């Protein structure tokens, strides 16, 4: 719950889907992992990191470090960093009002590093672009971001084009409203296809996460 006396709408959506007749859910990067518990049917919550890991290894960055754009995303970023055996830095920010954020402090050293920001969703891009600027001010060599769900509403594209972010890699869970030289899209279709195949043939889905 975001505040007292507000509805938990995700539970309502889960109930509606089940009433409509679904018997299994395959999804990617739920904003809150606890949503899996709202369903009374099996839920496979896939991770965008499964796709991003291979892409990052191909980039072969010289001095990479993983970053979380806020305290709430630390677990996600830490998991990513662990898989790549990299260090982690955190942006400590205070949100003054809805859809607006202010970067306050960086926990960790990014001087001379290639910073890789990890997030599950980018809406107006305010947080991610301000974080990139803060990293550059602290001496980061480059700052790129990896995000599963590219909502990119309002001034997002303008901020990405004019901000300190060197590049943004997203998946196609949400189609882009417009193209940008700074945004690269990686398809999730092969991963979903493989999961559906395994479910259909009663094979292990869990082994994909390893």
Phi-psi region of 207 (alpha: psi -120 to 50; beta: other; left: phi over 0): alpha
DSSP assignment of 17-30, as one string?
HHHHT---EEEE--
Nearest to 111 by CA among 73, 74, 56, 63: 63
d(CA 17, CA 20): 5
d(CA 206, CA 191): 13
Question: Two tokens at 108?
Answer: 């960790």
Residue 24 CB neighbour total at 10 angstroms: 11
Cα-based torsion angle of the residue sequence 185, 209, 118, 97 in order, rounded to the nearest 10 degrees: 100
Helix axis angle, 74-84 to 49-59, nearest 10°: 50
- Do residues 116 and 66 touch, judged by C-beta distance below 8 A? yes
Catalytic one of 1, 11, 59, 93: 93
Question: In the annotation, is 141 catalytic?
Answer: no
Report the catalytic residues: 93
């Amino acid at each position: 719950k975001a505040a007292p006396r507000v509805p938990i709408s995700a539970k309502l959506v889960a109930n509606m889907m089940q009433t409509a007749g679904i018997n299994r859910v395959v999804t990617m990067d739920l904003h809150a992992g606890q949503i899996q518990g709202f369903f009374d049917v099996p839920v496979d919550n896939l991770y965008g990191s499964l796709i991003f890991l291979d892409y990052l290894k191909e980039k072969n960055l010289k001095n990479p470090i993983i970053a979380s754009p806020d305290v709430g995303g630390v677990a996600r970023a830490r998991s990513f960093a662990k898989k790549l055996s990299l260090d982690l830095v955190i942006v400590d920010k205070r949100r003054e009002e809805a859809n607006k954020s202010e970067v306050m402090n960086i926990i960790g050293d990014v001087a001379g590093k290639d910073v890789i920001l990890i997030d599950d969703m980018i809406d107006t891009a305010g947080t991610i672009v301000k974080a990139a600027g803060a990293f550059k001010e602290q001496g980061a060599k480059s700052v790129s971001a990896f995000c599963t769900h590219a909502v990119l509403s309002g001034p997002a594209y303008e901020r990405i084009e004019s901000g300190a972010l060197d590049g943004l890699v997203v998946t196609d869970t949400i189609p882009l409203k417009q193209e940008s030289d700074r945004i690269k899209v990686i398809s999730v279709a092969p991963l979903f296809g493989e999961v559906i195949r395994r479910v259909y043939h009663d094979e292990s889905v869990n082994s994909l996460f390893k």
